[in-house]
Structure 1
Amino acid sequence: MQRKVMDTLARYQGDDYVDGWAELWQKNENLPWDKGFPNPALEDTLTQQSATLGGPITTNAQGEAYRKKALVPGCGRGVDVLLLASFGYDAYGLEYSDVAVKMCKDEAARNGNKYSVRYAEIGRGKITFVQGDFFKDDWLKRLQLPLNGFDLIYDYTFFCALNPTMRPDWALRHTQLLAPSPRGNLICLEFPRHKATAEQGPPWGVSSEAYMEHLSHPGEQIRYDAQGRCKMDPLREPSEHGLERVAYWQPARTHESGKDSDGVIQDRVSIWRRR
């Protein structure tokens, strides 16, 4: 199955990458890393890192309380969106394919109530699925949302799905969508860290160093060696427009695909904010 996915996407290069994903959804191909339920590492993060994330309710400049907005780019079948809404966020799932968006809505209709409301006094947030290209603004305009309007962004199998040549734009786009610090938090579930970076993707092998270099220097070209390994420069200053990593750890739980052949968890969770 993974070979079929790779062969399909190999026919779409550059800006046409989104059409490859649309074809996979049109064929109703099951992506090999789509497990049909949220990664437990996200649930643990939302439960255990409330001091860092600040919870799903905040106040505006006038002191009025409102729900934070959470975005899941490349949300698949939307299960992470449903989980975020159960924690009280107004949750948005973004997919390029109309077929994928329909599947998300079907998933919400069938299984949305399986995600129990976590805080009775807050309740469930609004769920919205939208079709659009992560790197463009048309979907934001249709939702009547501004840039830098998302208080939480969750990136799991999106970074690793993109060709590594797109990583500078991926990092830059996060700085355009994420709310100011400390309200805005980007959660990255770093996967697959145990896949060799020289192997063909998707998913492309990743490293924590790659997240660090790209998010610290959004939009800039980052050096990789011939094996696809990110080369960190310890003397290079972070960009003033870059994101800062404020938390990083090995999760106690994750999908089986995030473990190596010995069953050891290789995934990492990192939280980022605007500087």
Structure 2
Amino acid sequence: MSTPDQPTDAREKLSAHFQGDSSLHNQKWDALWKEGFLPWDKGFPSPALVDLLADRKDLFGSVTEGKKRKALVPGCGKGYDVLLFSAYGYDAYGLDVSETALEAAKETERRMEGDETYEIKGVEKGSVNWIVGDFFTNDFWKDVEGEGTFDLIYDYTFLSALPPSLRAGWSARFKELLAPQGKIICVEFPTYKPHSTGGPPWALPPKVYLGHLSRPGQELPYDEETGLLESELKEPGKDRLERLEHFPPKRTHQIGYNADGKVTDWVSVWAHPNAL
């Protein structure tokens, strides 16, 4: 499937660039930032996230004066979503493996000062923090204040950038970093790609999020052609994360629409079972 936002030649370049040893992917992402090859950058926050935070305060509540909460955006890129969480009162942390990406994020922060998209949406604005680090290690914790968990963790295009071999680690890490009463937001993308087409972005139908976040840390069975084998999954255990909401957003980035103008992305919200 070709779209105006990410034409076939861009996807082919990404696929070729990430062939080989997955342990080198961090350096390869940084190389793309240094080259300025950024087909994933849309220039503004995800419309699905904008609407979710504005319309579903019942899920997230509001930050009261003097009580700060922390939000994490792994693979934050230029940081549009980080700035949005700050506007809602979260102390927002944008994490990326590329220092070049975070220099661009700092420029976004300067350039967007006073933009109505990032006007204060709560009692007070939260802090904005840019951290170079690897989501799968604890090295970045030296730059995070407070306890070692986050009240909100956001994923849009981060999981799609990771090869399927890292999905068990991704889900385990989300569970580990989520505060006891915290929430995870996933804007599920790309849901329309066949698994066999590879990536990045890797195919992510809703069954992948449900399979992995319901079974954090477990290696799940995949078929090279069809993807996740749902029929072979075991029942989720006590260490699961629970899906609270799952729905197609009213709006999303253009790349999340099909040729008929229908939204193909989904939004899911997750929590620890004891937080329900």
TM-score in terms of structure 1 length: 0.90
Q: Is the 8 A contact 1:189 1:269 kept in 2?
A: yes
Q: Is the 8 A contact 1:90 1:127 kept in 2?
A: yes
Aligned to 2:23: 15
* Equivalent-residue separation in structure 2 for 1:97 and 1:234 (angstroms): 37
Q: Is the 8 A contact 2:112 2:118 kept in 1?
A: no
Aligned to 1:2: 11
* Equivalent-residue separation in structure 2 for 1:43 and 1:97 (angstroms): 25
Q: Is the 8 A contact 1:57 1:66 kept in 2?
A: yes
CA RMSD, Structure 1 to Structure 2 (Å): 1.7
1:68 aligns with 2:69: yes
Aligned to 1:37: 44
Q: CA deviation at 1:90?
A: 1.1
Aligned to 1:61: none
Moved more, 189-198 or 230-239: 230-239
Aligned to 2:3: none
Aligned to 2:119: 117
Aligned to 2:80: 79
Deviations 1:221-271 (A, max 9, x none): 111223142122487321222211011111010111001111110100000
Aligned to 1:206: 204
Q: Is the 8 A contact 2:102 2:131 kept in 1?
A: yes
Aligned to 1:126: 127
* Equivalent-residue separation in structure 2 for 1:255 and 1:80 (angstroms): 13
Deviations 1:172-191 (A, max 9, x none): 000111101xx200000000
Residues 264 and 142 of structure 1, relative CA distance in 2, 3 Å threshold: same
Q: Is the 8 A contact 2:221 2:233 kept in 1?
A: no
Residues 113 and 188 of structure 1, relative CA distance in 2, 3 Å threshold: same
* Equivalent-residue separation in structure 1 for 2:79 and 2:226 (angstroms): 31
* Equivalent-residue separation in structure 1 for 2:105 and 2:251 (angstroms): 25
Q: What percent identity do the matched residue pairs reach? A: 39
Q: CA deviation at 1:89?
A: 1.3
Residues 39 and 3 of structure 1, relative CA distance in 2, 3 Å threshold: same
Structure 2 letter corresponding to 1:76: G
Aligned to 2:6: none
1:88-103 superposed matches below 5 A: 88-103=89-104
Q: Is the 8 A contact 1:22 1:96 kept in 2?
A: yes
2:33 to 19, 25, 33: 25
Q: Is the 8 A contact 1:140 1:146 kept in 2?
A: no
1:56 aligns with 2:63: yes
Q: Is the 8 A contact 1:88 1:117 kept in 2?
A: no
* Equivalent-residue separation in structure 1 for 2:121 and 2:81 (angstroms): 17
Paired residues, what number?
A: 263
Residues 46 and 191 of structure 1, relative CA distance in 2, 3 Å threshold: same
Structure 1 letter corresponding to 2:79: G
Deviations 1:113-140 (A, max 9, x none): 21342436x1221111100000000111
TM-score in terms of structure 2 length: 0.90
Aligned to 1:62: none
Q: Is the 8 A contact 2:156 2:188 kept in 1?
A: yes
SS at match of 2:18: helix
